Structure 1
Amino acid sequence: MGINLVSERKMDTIPHLITTKDAAQKIGISEQRVRSLMRSGNLQGQQIGKQWLTTEDAIKVYLKNRTREPVADQICRFPHHSSIKALSFFSGAMGLDLGLENAGIPIRMACEIDKLCRQTIIKNRPDIGLIGNIWEYTAKEIREFSGLSPTEDIDVIVGGPPCQTFSTAGTRRGFHDSRGNALLKYIDLILELKPKFAVIENVRGLLSAPMVHTPHAKRGSNWQPTPEEQSGGALMHILKTLQSAGYGVSFNLYNAANFGVPQSRERVVLICSRDGKKLPYLTPTHSQKGDFGLPKWRTFAEAVKDLDPKNCDHAKFPESRVNFYKLLKPGQYWKHLPKELHRAALGNSLDSGGGKTGFLRRLDWEKPSCTLVTSPIMPATDICHPVENRPLSVQEYARIQQFPDSWIFCGSITDQYRQIGNAVPVGLGEAIGRTILAHIAGQEKRPPANFPFSRYKDTNDTSWAHKMNTNIETQHSTLQKNLFSHEPL
């Protein structure tokens, strides 16, 4: 099966030989990685002149033998005398953790169940403590894997529990969904481990998610929500649980673009403090229009300005979709196509509700990226380069999420997109870390008055609580009115 040495003049005439470019596309890795595999002997190939070549059979053998051996749990090997002791849960590719590290909070232990994310974590942080399924570890075992004694104080715990349950695009099954229960498990661990500070990151849907969700199809004409079905009930339960344990909790919905991230991405962040005090909201470093004495949001062009597109890895759009992209300019999407092409471009989706703004999107050079998703080639959420007729590359994805260029993501291109798209932007994590460290130092800095952290209303702890109380009072009044409006039997 080996490749016989041939001259450069003849190699193009031999059909079974495959170039590194074609091999990279077949395997789903970069050309540079293909060459490294051939040099090391992990992929059979040979250098002919200046070019490395392999065969279809060699690729099949490599793919068959390529294993995703599970990464074993390990105890932290960091110095035990670290001044700040922080643990991470639902760590993913460590975007949130990198942000905290940039602020000065090193992460001693990561908790992640996904096999490829675990490989990514160990590849980049070989000495970190690592555990898997959060359900399978006691508080005592977590301390052991973190390299901490049973009585040692934990400074910070951070985590972004799976958020599909609360996504506005999901089924919104509330806490009856196992992924919702992962959030409750995380809350339980906070209460057991008693860190000085705990961080909870989630999607905007958490602000309105009920404890229990009754599907619309099962609601009769006289349906009234039970207390468990009230909008916002899930977050209310979380707050009461943490506050009853003595934690002060502040939260807000933050657009990551306000913290130097070249991406418009909104996430709820709760910061809990064991001393019972509410920490101030995060301090922004940028603003949309350059007001509040801050520079304007960072743009896509700024994020990728020195990337060499020749060394980037990306998936491909179907040719039919490329034909539509050829008609779109930077910052445009399907509505900017000629009207007579709308049906051909969207198909039956044209008749669905909403603005359908995720279809056929070209990024604007001079604006932040839209929210990155787990794949830039899905029809309803595709993300195209501003001028090239291709999806964003893995490297552009990583720049937008602010991962360092040296950060290694394990797995295929598809796997890498998913890991990066699911991550918390590094800049948002850094803002969280700075806020916590300022509180520890007694140097709290408050954001500018009336700063618009999000485009939505009633998203901070104060306005949200007021809205919740108003809704409860209104619903109670309506229920009472309905009860007393009926004729007696």
Structure 2
Amino acid sequence: DGKMFYAVATKNGVQYRVGDGVYLLPEAFSFSMKPASPAKRPKKEAVDEELYPEHYRKYSEYIKGSNLDAPDPFRVGRIREIFCHIRSNGKPNEADIKLRICKFYRPENTHKSMKASYHADINLLYWSDEETTVDFRAVQGRCTVVYGEDLTQSIQDYSAGGLDRFYFLEAYNAKTKSFEDPPNHARSSGTKGKGKGKGKGKGKGKASASCEQREQQPVELKLPKLRTLDVFSGCGGLSEGFHQAGVSETLWAIEMWEPAAQAFRLNNPSTTVFTEDCNVLLKLVMSGEKTNSLGQKLPQKGDVEMLCGGPPCQGFSGMNRFNSRTYSKFKNSLVVSFLSYCDYYRPRFFLLENVRNFVSFKRSMVLKLTLRCLVRMGYQCTFGVLQAGQYGVAQTRRRAIVLAAAPGEKLPMFPEPLHVFAPRACQLSVVVDDKKFVSNITRTYSGPFRTITVRDTMSDLPEIRNGASALEISYNGEPQSWFQRQIRGSQYQPILRDHICKDMSALVAARMRHIPLAPGSDWRDLPNIEVRLSDGTTTRKLRYTHHEKKNGRSSSGALRGVCSCVEGKPCDPADRQFNTLIPWCLPHTGNRHNHWAGLYGRLEWDGFFSTTVTNPEPMGKQGRVLHPEQHRVVSVRECARSQGFPDTYRLFGNILDKHRQVGNAVPPPLAKAIGLEIKSCVLAKLREDMAETSAAEKMETMESAE
């Protein structure tokens, strides 16, 4: 019938065989169920401008932290045939290879839509008997899809045992909108083989078997964990992720700030945690000391196999160029101290983590000097920007990462994204001297799993009030989402810690109470009314006293200015108003600050956190910090979850200390993804070394035989 069939096709060095699971771009095929379009914002009603005098400032549709434009995750299929059409000249058209695939449904692709995916595992699929033909070009990678009942281990263990693993328990019938037992040929495929191949049953069995062998090879090598020194460790987010990846054992940590050091100790009782200045410590070691003044043993040359940390960059973090003063600040900075540690200990691997703008400080000079130092020491190095939201947290947090590997080691790659995320938060290229740098990451748009939302993160937590301070309470319920099941872990007697929130003043509490629950609500939705506060006093209405040139008057002709500066005159201190529900300072300076969008803003259940802050303030510039439904700021536990810390992770100190520990940390899921890349480099080198050793031994036996 004019087709040429193949057993294997290769793309980017990866082999695809009949029976393999594949990732495809979301546009490769569609489903018969039309996706429920995301809840569009309700059309603007006419607003009572006298009651809501600041509402006119809300003309932009874009809401920060909203997922309305998050892409679909990859489509998943199973290859039935690999073929190309035969041209009129009788030759196969190999430039245009096609795949015949079986479609898998994700929970959100069925008629149950997003609601189903919220309760389901993120790697759950449904078999379907729908087939389609796609271009080989649409293939984005290989994955494993198994029938859950065929597993010899638990679904949890299987899923946690490697990347790109999916399972199904049921088939979905789109015509009847029903879930059924999968047919026999669906179950066995990928494990035993024999499908209803068109006379190709045998071939399919072979392909599946080889697929199994490929999957199972790497397991037997036991990996010794890298002895790690974590500098500027904070409460331990980076180390926690590395431990979850199984790549390292943090034997030493340095953290100057006592509460964070205490938190690190609570979670890593066997780590030696130093609270000295890192420069003092290094001088001690270099002068031959074995212990510090407290008798703690210092790591010696040759002890440290991995060095990681996030040196604070105050002092030279501006964007403008170096001058002699800021350059000397840089030379005495913690970045340079951290590089000195690398120079002294010469670890196998080195990781520097920092804010996104690290790569731009001083016209990228800080980045260049860092790389220059590492290269001068003989290290291979690379840099990139990663978005934590793409590794499984409901938060936008872009971080600069510099990775280095000693001579003879393999230099780690950056981990491919696991989750789709809001595209405008995923602009990760770096421009240095008008050249654009991108990392090795190829999954720039889609990814294996759906995005994690605020609802996934915290919908299971019990309701608390403004100022709640009980350090330990009960969960009062089961986890609702896949993320919550992961984050709670397997606690023997579940106890919820640190679900506490800052106690806000009576006036701030009243403002929070009056912010509507609709997505995108913030201070501009506050009514201009008198309210009796919990302390017995009453607020005043905000008076509009000046003609605002820029914004004109309201529809009824009311004034919109609150200070003489709107008329081009200097500010008059007498214009200031206090104790109003609408904070006077926001309309005062709103025009030049994007109308202070997001102040007193609520999180959105279907959205994500702005970068988790060290101190949630409704008036802070950092973004929305109010709970989606409760009249309070987010709790410490909610912030910790937005960073991906397990619920069992301990924090230390008062509420502000805890917020600061969480807000300053590297999200463990991001660290884990990087750790897995380092681990694969260690494994690859171990394999090479073993191969070389056995080859050398063979040579010896041959020589001795002669």
TM-score in terms of structure 2 length:
0.45
| Alpha carbons 1:87, 1:157 under 8 Å: kept | yes
Q: Which residue of 2 aligns with 1:53?
A: none
Which of 266, 281, 285 is matched with 1:123 structurally? 266
Contact 1:334 1:361 survives alignment (8 Å): yes
Q: Residue in 2 aligned with 1:330?
A: 519
2:652 and 2:344 map into 1 onto residues whose CA distance is 33
Structure 1 residue 374 corresponds to structure 2 residue 627 = no
Kindly state the Cα deviation for residue 305 of structure 1 after the two structures are TM-superposed.
2.9
Aligned residues of 2:609 and 2:642 also touching (Cα < 8 A): yes
Query: Cα deviation per residue 1:237-281 (whole Å; 9 max; x = unaligned)?
Result: 111111111111111111100011221111101111112764322
Q: Distance in 2 between matches of 1:171 and 1:316?
A: 42
Change over 3 Å in CA distance of 1:434–1:419 after alignment to 2: same
Matched letter for residue 309 of structure 1: E
Q: CA RMSD in A?
A: 3.3
Is residue 308 from structure 1 mapped to residue 432 from structure 2 by the alignment? no
Distance 2:317 2:260 in 1: 22
CA distance in 2 between partners of 1:109 and 1:151 (Å): 13
Residue 233 (structure 1) aligned to one of 365, 374, 397:
365
2:661 is aligned to 419
Cα deviation for residue 319 of structure 1 reads: 3.6
- What is aligned with 1:85? 227
The 1:182–1:148 alpha-carbon spacing in structure 2 relative to 1, beyond 3 Å, is closer
Name structure 1 gaps, 5 residues minimum. 1-80, 211-230, 445-489
Question: Whole-Å Cα distance in 2 between the matches of residues 441 and 97 of structure 1?
Answer: 20
Alignment partner, residue 260 of structure 1: 392
**Aligned counterpart for 1:159 among listed residues 305, 309, 314:** 309
Is 1:208–2:360 an aligned residue pair? yes
Residue 152 to residue 402, structure 1, CA distance change in 2 (3 Å): same
Q: Deviations over 1:76-100 (max 9, x none)?
A: xxxxx96421110001110111011
Cα separation, 1, equivalents of 2:676 and 2:269: 25
Task: Quote the offset at 1:321 in angstroms.
Answer: 3.6
Cα offset for 1:283? 2.1
For 2:650, what is the secondary structure of its paired residue? coil
Change (3 A) 1:396 1:324: same
**Bigger Cα displacement from structure 2, 247-256 vs 313-322:** 313-322
Tell me if 1:112 matches 2:255. Answer: yes
Q: For each residue in 1:25-64, what CA deviation from the matched residue of structure 2 results, as whole angstroms up to 9, or x when unmatched?
A: xxxxxxxxxxxxxxxxxxxxxxxxxxxxxxxxxxxxxxxx
Tell me, in whole angstroms, the C-alpha distance in 1 between the residues paired with 2:455 and 2:318: 30
Aligned residue number for residue 317 of structure 1: 504
User: Structure 1 residues 163 and 440, CA, compared in 2 at 3 Å: closer, same or farther?
Assistant: same
1:22-171 alignment to 2 at 5 Å? Answer: 83-104=225-246, 105-131=248-274, 132-138=276-282, 141=285, 150=300, 152=302, 154-165=304-315
CA contact (8 A) 2:301 2:345 kept: no
Identity of aligned residues (%): 27
Return the TM-score normalized by structure 1.
0.63
CA contact (8 A) 1:300 1:368 kept: yes
- The 1:344/1:263 distance shift into structure 2, 3 A limit, reads same
The structure that is strand-richer by fraction is 2
Contact 1:164 1:170 (8 Å CA) reproduced: no
State the AA in 2 paired with 1:133: D
**In 2 relative to 1, CA 308–177 (structure 1 residues): closer, same or farther, beyond 3 Å?**
farther
* Structure 1 stretch displaced more, 271-280 or 235-244: 271-280
How many Å apart are 1:442 and its aligned residue?
A: 2.1
Residues 320, 361 of structure 2: 8 Å contact kept: no
Change in CA separation of 1:306 and 1:167 when aligned onto 2, cut-off 3 Å? farther
Map of 2:453 onto structure 1:
299
- Cα distance, 1:147–1:413 mapped onto 2, change above 3 Å: same
- Contact 2:253 2:272 survives alignment (8 Å): yes
Opposite residue 108 of structure 1, the aligned amino acid is L
The Cα shift of 1:347 comes to 4.8
Rounded to whole Å, the distance in 2 between the matches of 1:317 and 1:171 is 41
CA distance in 2, matches of 1:364, 1:179: 44
The equivalent of 2:347 in structure 1 is 195
Aligned equivalent of 1:383: 625
Q: Which of 231, 238, 247 is matched with 2:379 structurally?
A: 247
Amino acid of the residue matched to residue 300 of structure 1? V
Q: Aligned AA for 2:239?
A: D
Q: Residue type of the partner of 2:501?
A: H
The answer as to whether partners of 1:376 and 1:383 remain within 8 angstroms in 2 is yes
